[in-house]
Structure 1
Amino acid sequence: MKTGWKVLIGIIIVIVLLAIPTVGSYNNLITQEQNVNTTKSNIDTQLQRRMDLIPNLVNTVQGYATQEKEIFTDIANSRSKLAGATDVNEQAAADSELSNALSRLLVIVERYPDLKSNQNFQDLSIQLEGTENRIAIARQDYNTAVASYNNQKRRFPTNIVASLFNFPDYPLYTATAGANEAPIVDFSG
């Protein structure tokens, strides 16, 4: 065999040996990125479910608590902010604001014993509670997917492939400042 052919075959073997891990890393990043996008979409689905339930809950409570107008305005404003959120950080802030408003609404409900015995209210409360749990699980799933993706993206040799193909970092879904504090509900003034 001529020397030229040997060199060409050697170069082809080296290229193939370099291409195999590159393709594997690229495909793994694509799979994990799709998982991040899917879990993010699952959060959006659960937030939409909650937003669909809230008007029914508010209408039911309004029938009993007509003098509590501020909380209904706060819920409507928070819902609008959540619907208009464009990224995970804005969504987390609006979600926290809406959760606080809903907590205040449930405190109002405590003041109306007849409302708590209303079957429509009970059904809506159960659905909303289930939705809140689904949202929490969806956030955890998203953060797990993001952590896995971001970790894989930073590992060698995948980090080379990630930088070559401009794979982005994804932020974790975090609570907003003060979300760990219970909302203050004051009906005195």
Structure 2
Amino acid sequence: MNTSNLILLVIAGVLLFWVVGAYNRLVRLRNEISNAFAQIDVQLKRRHDLIPNLVEVARKYMEHERETLERVTAARAQVMAATDLVKSKPNQPGPILSLGMAEGVLSNAMGRFNAVLESYPELKADQRMRDLGEELVHTENKVAFSRQLFNDASLSYNNAAHQFPTNVVAGLFGFRTAPMLQATSNEAERSAVKVGF
């Protein structure tokens, strides 16, 4: 084996190790996105468990607001369906977009619910309603924090996948841009769901 063949073999070996390292880094970062969405999922499940309790307590007082309560319930179901879709594909933009839109519908429904709630002082005074409201606000804060972790993981992955020379490996192995989970317009206007008490 002559010197030029040995040099080519060493260069090929170094290149192979670099490609394997870049590939493994992209896989790790993509897995961090899935893990970050799992944290969002935990908080969304908690919120989805609270909303029916909130609606049930409100139903006793808000007999004439059936449509508002039904909107909240339907929006909750829509978010749950979108969440299930994202769980199977957390790195795909379509499911993330669907979840963002469903979250917007739920935020609007909860905003309407909170506005109507102002007309029912006896409901606002109900201890169970206050407790549920506080727990919901706490959960919304956790959702916002988890969303930020997800977006940070997506940003790290996207930065790695778009930087040269790793972008060559990303292109060869089909690593696509990861979506960001955006706050809905209602959420951007308010820091958390406020159940007025």
Q: How far is the alpha carbon of 1:155 from its aligned partner?
A: 0.5
Q: TM-score, normalised by structure 1?
A: 0.86
Look up the match of 1:187: none
The size of the alignment, in residue pairs, is 179
Amino acid at match of 1:149: Y
Q: How far is the alpha carbon of 1:20 from its aligned partner?
A: 2.4
Task: Give unmatched runs, 5+ long, in structure 2.
Answer: 86-94, 191-197
Amino acid at match of 1:81: Q
Aligned pairs for 1:32-71 within 5 A? 32-71=29-68
Give the root-mean-square deviation of aligned CA atoms. Answer: 1.9
Task: Give unmatched runs, 5+ long, in structure 1.
Answer: 183-189
Amino acid at match of 1:153: A
The answer to whether the 8 A contact 1:146-1:172 is kept is yes
Give the Cα separation in 1 of the matches to 2:44 and 2:75: 12
Aligned pairs for 1:109-188 within 5 A? 109-176=117-184
Residue 13 of structure 1 is aligned with which of 10, 13, 22?
A: 10
Q: How far is the alpha carbon of 1:161 from its aligned partner?
A: 1.0
Q: Which moved more, 1:4-13 or 1:111-120?
A: 4-13
Deviations 1:94-128 (A, max 9, x none): 11110111122122222222222222111111110
Partner-residue secondary structure (3-state), 2:38: helix
The answer to whether the 8 A contact 1:93-1:175 is kept is no
Q: How far is the alpha carbon of 1:9 from its aligned partner?
A: 3.0
Q: How far is the alpha carbon of 1:179 from its aligned partner?
A: 6.4
Give the Cα separation in 1 of the matches to 2:186 and 2:31: 32
Aligned-residue identity in percent: 36
Give the Cα separation in 2 of the matches to 1:103 and 1:89: 21
